[in-house]
A and B are shown apart, each in its own frame.
Chain A
Amino acid sequence: MATEVLMPALSPTMEEGTLAKWLVKEGDTVASGDILAEIETDKATMEFEAVDEGVIGKILIEAGTEGVKVNTPIAVLVAEGEEVPAEGAKAETAPAPAALNDSEGKVAAPASAAPAPAAPKADTSPDWPEGTTMKTQTVREALRDAMAEEMRSSDEVFVMGEEVAEYQGAYKITQGLLDEFGARRVIDTPITEHGFAGIGVGAAFGGLRPIVEFMTFNFAMQAIDHIINSAAKTLYMSGGQMGCPIVFRGPNGAAARVGAQHSQCYAAWYAQIPGLKVVMPYSAADAKGLLKTAIRDPNPVIFLENEILYGRSFEVPALDDFTIPFGKAKIWREGSDVTIVSFGIGMTYALEAAERLAKDGISAEVIDLRTIRPMDTDAILASVMKTNRLITVEEGFPQGSVGNYITSVVMEQAFDYLDAPVINLAGKDVPMPYAANLEKLALVTTDEVVEAARKVTYR
């Protein structure tokens, strides 16, 4: 049976090319793999191989022809002894490609249309039942308890990282875990972030629930390829088959006087990635409840802690199994004049500012996002619709900040409610300086929050 040989596409973008040279002539016998012709694309000259065996019955396009469209028949291949079909008679062609890149059909309305603004429904239910006994704990202890509890309840959970076992954790977050769970489940790694982040992701693919501790998130830049390309995207790339239940945790952001390479906040970076969940707790109760949720979550979770907050004490509910859901912000302080949204250590400045503002008769509502992705935008919108003013506070860099995103959401969904431009307070647009005075300047401050609140309330 005669087969047409078609002009091939030889690159992702090729639509036509020059048939530079035939390396066979009519009557030649060819086998699959033999080079038939040389074809010039805009980038290179490529060899074109036969896929079928047979005899070159007829060459349809002369050597030297330019602008030969992809899929044009260029020759006819016949079986040994077979006649070349007469002009017009249909040789068997492989079917023409289906219309794949129909520009209209591809990403239709549901994909890109902005969601119709619905009335925000903020979940303001309490995190624990009224009357629950509370105990005072540091964030450090709360984090350790969360891990220990989850490790007790599931053998699939293990901790891996630099100095997490014998040394009891560089910041003592894994204190006591080696004693209780042994070296099989509390694993010291060499200083190889890219490597052990990858091993963690592989172990999650293999059915375990790793907690990967980065000594600080600054070092996770070594591993970010695995966090994003391997952990966050695999579920999607596998059409839903292969999830990656893993927690990447450790201190994030500025500590004190550790300089530019050890003081970055990565909240906005990870918040950008579909497939990741991003948590940044402020209080000890949230640290505990959210870390337990993170460990149980079937997705990769970035859990951003803060060295300065580790030693702070908060009231934590004395419950056997206490968790906080993702995507639920917490209103720390109700108010009517201005909304201040923050997360993590930014809450320190937000709360201090609210206290000072109250003395001057400005009533600020302070919202702690707790999880940045998913983000409880309903809580923000509901509050802005009440106060008509918004300030965001974070320690990260200003361009492409979490606050910038919040602003865009509020612009789209509550523009008419705003009585003043939104102000995004962030770290200064500079690498973190070492000098004490400069470091102070580089960080966001309570004074700046107070000043911004006056500005948006015109007072």
Chain B
Amino acid sequence: MAVKKPAAKSNVSAEELLGYYRDMLLIRRFEEKAGQLYGMGLIGGFCHLYIGQEAVVVGLEAAAKDGDKRITSYRDHGHMLACGMDPKGVMAELTGREGGYSKGKGGSMHMFSKEKHFYGGHGIVGAQVPLGAGLAFSDKYKGNDNVTFTYFGDGAANQGQVYETYNMAMLWDLPVVFVIENNKYAMGTSVQRATRSPSLWERGAAYGIKGEEVDGMDVLAVKAAGEKAVAHCRAGKGPYILEVMTYRYRGHSMSDPAKYRTRDEVQKMRSERDAIEHVRELLLQGKHASEDDLKNIDKEIKAVVNEAADFSKESPEPALEELWTDIYA
């Protein structure tokens, strides 16, 4: 497999590279397990897997510092794992149990962690965009240098509120990185069938917002772009847009047969551009890790995921009284 050399500008140590490998693998194995539990009826409703897109959140989290915030859509499991939320709590929320991050009341699409500055988990396409700008507003108002990563899809990019938000975010110099996760499809609608815009990030220009396109299958490229965007925000220059080109391997949600694309298209991305495979090759080629080292990491991750799955099955369903709690603070 042809592997691109990491860009010279991204100074990463072997240790960091191993860390990214681990983080991406955790997301992939976690999602595969979630898919399996869904198949067994333990997870219900909508369940949107992040498989294929792992490098996006892992790369951007590598550019974040303590105190930075993140917010995203319903396709949120990867974001939560990448920012350090406990896989047990996430999986138990997927199974709707008491031990879940929202006590089982939020589900796959609605989880939050104050501790990790993760602000959800939103089910209305595009709604998280102004919310993310509002989080950035709160940091600017308080006068700190935190940045908010606001993730949304290529489909969400056509919602009007995104542009309302662009305008205000630039007008008020809000420290927000708008991350468009362009996975080429919004459910069954390809980007080309949804817009004639040649690119999504360039739309920011109408509001004076800078941005760029990023290879989302290369975690180092994502990290480098993330660092640039974050530096821009922290310097008080306002928002920045990253259109991260990525791909989801699975259907939109568990119940999507994905007939709008060919098996070959998916297979080609998987075999030629897989982000985890890419880092694996870098690690092996650079002799930063041996096959055995990587096998061991694999085992560790499997154990973490199995533990999360066990927890998510053993944790009881929420007490019936929970129906009536958390309506008002």
Partners in one complex: yes
- Which residues on the B side are within 8 Å of A10 (C-beta)? 39, 254-255
Query: CB-CB contacts of B87-129 with A at 8 A, as 1s and 0s?
Result: 0000000001000111111100011111000011111100101
The yes or no answer to A203 lying at the interface (CB within 8 A) is yes
The yes or no answer to A200 lying at the interface (CB within 8 A) is yes
Contact B39 A9, beta carbon cutoff 8 Å = yes
Q: Which of B33, B42, B101, B263 has most chain A Cβ within 10 Å? A: B42
Closest residue to A45 on the B side, CB-wise?
B257
The stretch that binds A, out of B8-16, B233-241, B284-292, B313-321, is B313-321
Contact B35 A51, beta carbon cutoff 8 Å = yes
Contact A195 B110, beta carbon cutoff 8 Å = no
The yes or no answer to B198 lying at the interface (CB within 8 A) is no
- Which residues on the B side are within 8 Å of A205 (C-beta)? 119, 131, 134-135, 138
Contact B141 A202, beta carbon cutoff 8 Å = no
- Which residues on the A side are within 8 Å of B132 (C-beta)? 202
Contact A195 B313, beta carbon cutoff 8 Å = no
With A12-B44, A45-B257: A202-B328 Cβ-Cβ less than 8 Å = no
CB contacts under 8 Å to B, within A175-221, are: 184, 187, 189-190, 192, 194-208
Contact B255 A11, beta carbon cutoff 8 Å = yes
The yes or no answer to B2 lying at the interface (CB within 8 A) is no
A47 to chain B, nearest CB (A): 7
- Taken together as a complex, chains A and B put the C-alpha atoms of A96 and B114 apart, in Å, by 34
Contact A192 B329, beta carbon cutoff 8 Å = no
- Which residues on the B side are within 8 Å of A189 (C-beta)? 168
- Which residues on the A side are within 8 Å of B139 (C-beta)? 206
A192 to chain B, nearest CB (A): 4
Contact A47 B131, beta carbon cutoff 8 Å = no
- Taken together as a complex, chains A and B put the C-alpha atoms of A202 and B127 apart, in Å, by 10
- Taken together as a complex, chains A and B put the C-alpha atoms of A277 and B328 apart, in Å, by 9
- Taken together as a complex, chains A and B put the C-alpha atoms of A31 and B138 apart, in Å, by 47
Closest residue to B102 on the A side, CB-wise?
A239
The yes or no answer to A241 lying at the interface (CB within 8 A) is yes
The stretch that binds B, out of A227-235, A312-320, A393-401, is A227-235
The yes or no answer to B300 lying at the interface (CB within 8 A) is no
Contact of B326 among A198, A229, A239, A245 (CB under 8 A): A239
Contact A203 B141, beta carbon cutoff 8 Å = yes
The yes or no answer to B36 lying at the interface (CB within 8 A) is yes
The yes or no answer to A348 lying at the interface (CB within 8 A) is no
Contact B112 A242, beta carbon cutoff 8 Å = yes
- Taken together as a complex, chains A and B put the C-alpha atoms of A136 and B233 apart, in Å, by 49
The yes or no answer to B32 lying at the interface (CB within 8 A) is yes
Contact B323 A51, beta carbon cutoff 8 Å = no
The yes or no answer to A27 lying at the interface (CB within 8 A) is no
- Taken together as a complex, chains A and B put the C-alpha atoms of A379 and B10 apart, in Å, by 68
CB contacts under 8 Å to A, within B216-272, are: 249, 251, 254-255, 257-259, 263, 270
Query: CB-CB contacts of B11-48 with A at 8 A, as 1s and 0s?
Result: 00000000000000000000011011011111011100
B286 to chain A, nearest CB (A): 25
B295 to chain A, nearest CB (A): 12
Contact A194 B130, beta carbon cutoff 8 Å = yes
Contact of A235 among B46, B96, B100, B326 (CB under 8 A): B326
The A interface is mostly helix, strand or loop, or mixed, namely loop
The yes or no answer to A325 lying at the interface (CB within 8 A) is no
CB contacts under 8 Å to B, within A54-72, are: 70-71
B99 to chain A, nearest CB (A): 11
Contact of B328 among A9, A97, A299 (CB under 8 A): A299
B325 to chain A, nearest CB (A): 7
CB contacts under 8 Å to B, within A1-47, are: 6, 8-12, 14, 32-33, 35, 43-47
The yes or no answer to A361 lying at the interface (CB within 8 A) is no
The stretch that binds A, out of B54-62, B157-165, B179-187, is B157-165
Contact B257 A100, beta carbon cutoff 8 Å = no
The yes or no answer to A125 lying at the interface (CB within 8 A) is no
Contact B41 A239, beta carbon cutoff 8 Å = no
Closest residue to A93 on the B side, CB-wise?
B40
B40 to chain A, nearest CB (A): 5
With A195-B164, A203-B141: A239-B103 Cβ-Cβ less than 8 Å = yes
- Which residues on the A side are within 8 Å of B251 (C-beta)? 46
The stretch that binds B, out of A105-113, A249-257, A264-272, A427-435, is A105-113
Contact B120 A234, beta carbon cutoff 8 Å = yes
The yes or no answer to B69 lying at the interface (CB within 8 A) is yes
Contact A44 B135, beta carbon cutoff 8 Å = no
The yes or no answer to B133 lying at the interface (CB within 8 A) is yes
- Which residues on the A side are within 8 Å of B313 (C-beta)? 95, 98
CB contacts under 8 Å to A, within B137-190, are: 137-139, 141-142, 160-161, 164-165, 167-168, 171-172
- Taken together as a complex, chains A and B put the C-alpha atoms of A133 and B323 apart, in Å, by 46
Q: Which of A100, A199, A241 has most chain B Cβ within 10 Å? A: A199
- Which residues on the A side are within 8 Å of B36 (C-beta)? 8, 51, 94
The yes or no answer to A161 lying at the interface (CB within 8 A) is no
Contact A238 B112, beta carbon cutoff 8 Å = yes
Contact of B105 among A71, A111, A190, A237 (CB under 8 A): A237
The yes or no answer to A332 lying at the interface (CB within 8 A) is no
Chain A to chain B contacts (Cβ below 8 Å), 15 pairs: A10-B39, A11-B254, A14-B255, A35-B263, A46-B251, A51-B32, A107-B323, A190-B171, A203-B137, A205-B134, A237-B106, A237-B112, A242-B119, A274-B327, A275-B328
**What are the 8 A-B residue pairs with the smallest beta carbon separation, nearest first?**
A202-B134, A198-B130, A206-B138, A195-B164, A8-B39, A192-B164, A11-B255, A298-B329
